[in-house]
Amino acid sequence: MAISGGYLINVTEKSYSTLGRGTVYGISYPSIAFIMFVLISMLVLHRTQYGRYIFAVGGNEEAALLSGIRTKIIKGSTFAIAGFAAALAGILLSSKVSTGIPNSGTGLELQAIAAVVLGGTSIAGGAGAIWRTVVGVFLLAIIN
């Protein structure tokens, strides 16, 4: 908003719009990015110490801290990963419509929370699975 003054910014670069509209064997680039992000997230959460720490901090932060987990680092890094995912989604969305729209993501945060809840993840933390969230995303897509 500070750069554009709240106005739309049209992007005329064809290679940028290819990010949001291109396909590989009939699968769109945004779908490929989603699949890759899901697979990497599942691998990290279920096969690494970092993933176990995320579940521990989400389930009971005080117990995780008392067991030696650096909870501030875990929380900060998960927020950074969420920020990266949001930035990637914003880039893919703006490349799909070839326009930078300052408020294009308004309301999507509620849809994201709804998909997570539909997938059965606990809002209180500590319990959930990526595959269930993916099911929630598909259910929400069917509803919409």
74-131 pLDDT, tens per residue? 999 999 999 999 999 988 988 988 888 777 878 888 999 999 999 888 777 667 788 9
Contact 121, 32 (CB under 8 A): no
In a domain, 140, yes or no: yes
The first and second tokens of residue 82, run together, are: 């969420």
Domain limits for position 47: 12-101
> Do residues 114 and 83 share a domain?
no
Indicate if 38 and 90 belong to the same structural domain: yes
End-to-end Cα separation, the chain, in angstroms: 29
pLDDT score for 16: 85
Does any domain span residue 4? no
Clarify whether residues 27 and 48 are in a common domain.
yes
Domain count of the fold of the chain = 2
In this prediction, residue 123 carries a pLDDT of: 79
What mean pLDDT comes out for the span 18-32? 91
Q: Say yes or no: 24 and 88 in one domain.
A: yes
Q: Are residue 97 and residue 119 in the same domain, yes or no?
A: no
Question: Is residue 5 one of the residues assigned to a domain?
Answer: no
Residue 83 lies in a domain: yes
pTM, full prediction: 0.80
The contacts of residue 53 (CB under 8 Å, 6+ apart) are 64, 69, 74
